[in-house]
Chains A and B, each alone.
Chain A
Amino acid sequence: MRGDVFGFLGPNGSGKTTTIRMLLGLIRPTAGRAIIFGMDTAHQMPSILSRIGAIVETPVFYPYLSAVDNLHVIGAASGMMSGKAKQRRIDEVLELVELQAQAKMAYRKYSLGMKQRLGIAAALLTDPELVLLDEPTNGLDPSGMFEIRQLIHRLAVLGKTIFLSSHLLNEVQQVCNRVAILQKGNLIKQGNVRELLRGSQQVLVKLNTQEEVQQAKTILEAAKRQGADWISEVRIQADRQGEATLLVDTPKSNSTEINAILARNLLFASELHPYEGSLEEIFLQLTAPSGAHLGMAALAGESLTRQSSSIKGPERPEVRKESIE
């Protein structure tokens, strides 16, 4: 959707960069096709690229040129007219990424963070509708990562649609409103971040003894059978201290109701608090090898549909018709 910050997640080797390269025409899909702005990337790539700004992995520029000169070169390659307007635009994007002070410095003297910011400046130079950022915080220190996150926020405020590929889930959770999760070339989950996280909400209940925990589980499961359909699943799990804890997969707003059911059965929780999973937990749950259970409630947002696509080779996913508007 226009104005979205869309996170494209996946473990290393899942095909994120390969997909982006295919979307940008750097590599060709072995099968299938990709549609961007309603246009087929196989036949209308120049028209598509004129509306896209992108950085693929670590951006690379001409080392002997300064930031300004590099942007002049990229501007010419992007079809921009030379003149004062172009210079003003270059100043604008350098200001946006806070590189004005180093604008005349040769690119080879730039730090990694400065290189990444110049990459984003280059991606924004032609005021594109869609900005593809592939691992924009790769190799950055925490302050550098923070700067890039702030920048992405600023771009979202400017109304840009951002397609952010990353394996840094905390980063994605902070900046993206929608995500897609890729594994071995398959799109295994796609949806709104809030909905995904809402689906991972749990209520954590601690009781005084292990027997009470077992009793509580039995009571809540009975309640579920008797019509408390807001309870998805109830299970016992050891906490970090090794104590048995009851985990109830349900929205946190049901905490009071759980407490009341237990109290009616003379079980009094020593601790009861809502717990919301992180994108990282959801991701690990989804991408864990089959059979492995990582202690998270099953994710079942109604609006989230599981999609998958087959792949022809280990590294190159078959592109499904996914439009990005």
Chain B
Amino acid sequence: MSVSSQTNAGEAHTKTVILGKQSFLSILLRLIGMEIYKIRRRIMSKVLLSIAIVIAILVFFLFSLNTFFVLNAPPDSFSPPCPVTNATSQGQARPNCPPPTTAQVTQFRESVLRNASEPLRLPTSLSLAIQVALSAGTILIIILIGSSAGGEFSIGTVRLMYTRGPTRLQFLLAKVGVAALCAAIGILTITITGILIGQMLNTLSSIPQILDFLSPGWIAHALLYLLIAMLDWFIYATIAIFFGTLGRSTVAGIVGALTWLFLEPILGSILRLAGTFSQGTFGNFLKTIPDYFISNNTGALLQNQGQYIFGGSGSSLSDIHALAVLIAYVAVFIGLSWWINERRDVTN
């Protein structure tokens, strides 16, 4: 730690300029702290976080409506299925089916209610919360990070920052670091909000939350599931940083990343369709291209973890393939942003 003092003519030295460690990592950590401070002070960040929370709450409310309708449905609307006979098949009336007993109706109603309220309870609520995060939430993180990275150029503060001492690489890594942090905080906020709201709304159904699925293995897979969702956000955030840097504006950062987000599934569908219509190797090649898209690979990772959390089958894409593709995307976008930053003159 070094101390510099300012000498006022005839006055004693004052030691108010205290500099921290000047190692690469120390500077980077301070810059990440600075970026967090800026994001924390922006109204936009608070608005975006509020929107994310409200969306999570609304989605769980929408899913709870099903439970509400089941609860308020008249008892005669619950007729348990008749035991399968020849006469009951093919849409005929239930001539040989005896009227259900009250116990059967109650049991059937409870079964319907259990199914309807399933998304409000763990583990399904985890899946629902992550789906919310990966749909609407991705747009929000793109807006946040796109405006943070591109805004430095739009406003012109990049000139101020680049003359303060740290290298351009450190400034870029600070943006990347804060994007990762925002992704983690955002995913956790939406997930926790969703799960808690789900639990609250589940009390309507009076069906208890059973936690017998909980095991160290389940928790580990659930944590990986969350990390994959964070990785998905982080990748789109790095795309926003790249486009914001390339286009030197907030608009470029946001529009570039959103275009990528929405264009990928459309392009994927077109390629698969074209691959189906095309014959032979070229057709197969076209159908394989979407396997290298971001959304398909994060989807594959989520599906592969989801089979341990929610059951079901895994993806046709392996974890190794998906991770390699996603890491390549991150490396390319950060690398390109660095290259542009290093080579570019900062004028106005």
Shortest CB-to-CB span from A202 to chain B, Å, is: 37
CA distance A13 to B161 in the complex (A): 25
Of all A-B residue pairs in the complex, the 5 with the closest CB atoms, nearest first, are A76-B34, A60-B156, A27-B345, A89-B16, A77-B164
Interface pair B162/A46, CB less than 8 Å apart:
no
A79 with B163, Cβ < 8 A, contacts A62-B38, A92-B16, A127-B17 known: no
15 further contact pairs, Cβ within 8 A, besides A60-B155, A85-B18: A26-B159, A26-B347, A27-B345, A27-B346, A46-B165, A49-B163, A49-B165, A64-B41, A76-B37, A79-B19, A79-B22, A81-B18, A86-B18, A127-B6, A158-B6
- For A45, what are the chain B residues with a Cβ–Cβ distance below 8 Å? 167
Interface pair B37/A159, CB less than 8 Å apart:
no
Q: Is B14 in the interface zone, CB < 8 Å from A?
A: yes
CA distance A25 to B157 in the complex (A): 15
Q: Which of B162-176 contact A (CB under 8 A)?
A: 162-167
Q: Is A56 in the interface zone, CB < 8 Å from B?
A: yes
Interface residues of A (CB under 8 A from B): 21, 24-28, 45-46, 49-50, 52, 54, 56-57, 59-65, 69, 72-74, 76-83, 85-86, 88-89, 92, 122, 125-127, 157-159
- For A27, what are the chain B residues with a Cβ–Cβ distance below 8 Å? 345-347
- For B18, what are the chain A residues with a Cβ–Cβ distance below 8 Å? 80-81, 83, 85-86
Interface pair A85/B16, CB less than 8 Å apart:
yes
Q: Which of A25, A50, A65, A159 contacts B38 (CB 8 A)?
A: A65
- For A86, what are the chain B residues with a Cβ–Cβ distance below 8 Å? 16, 18
Interface residues of B (CB under 8 A from A): 1, 4-9, 14-20, 22, 27, 30-31, 33-34, 37-38, 41-43, 155-157, 159-167, 345-348
14 A-B contacts, Cβ less than 8 Å apart?
Answer: A21-B346, A46-B166, A49-B163, A69-B37, A73-B38, A77-B30, A79-B20, A79-B30, A81-B18, A85-B17, A89-B16, A127-B5, A158-B8, A159-B7
Count contacts between A and B, CB distance < 8 Å.
117
Q: Which of B7, B8, B9, B162 contacts A25 (CB 8 A)?
A: B162
Interface pair A69/B155, CB less than 8 Å apart:
no
CA distance A58 to B106 in the complex (A): 75
CA distance A122 to B345 in the complex (A): 22
Q: Which of B8, B33, B155, B348 contacts A76 (CB 8 A)?
A: B33
Shortest CB-to-CB span from B175 to chain A, Å, is: 13
Nearest-CB residue, chain B, relative to A123: B163
- For B30, what are the chain A residues with a Cβ–Cβ distance below 8 Å? 76-77, 79
CA distance A81 to B34 in the complex (A): 11
- For A72, what are the chain B residues with a Cβ–Cβ distance below 8 Å? 37
Interface pair B345/A61, CB less than 8 Å apart:
no
- For B41, what are the chain A residues with a Cβ–Cβ distance below 8 Å? 64-65, 69
Interface pair B345/A28, CB less than 8 Å apart:
yes
Nearest-CB residue, chain A, relative to B30: A76
- For B1, what are the chain A residues with a Cβ–Cβ distance below 8 Å? 81
CA distance A79 to B161 in the complex (A): 12
Nearest-CB residue, chain A, relative to B9: A157
CA distance A251 to B18 in the complex (A): 51
CA distance A296 to B22 in the complex (A): 53
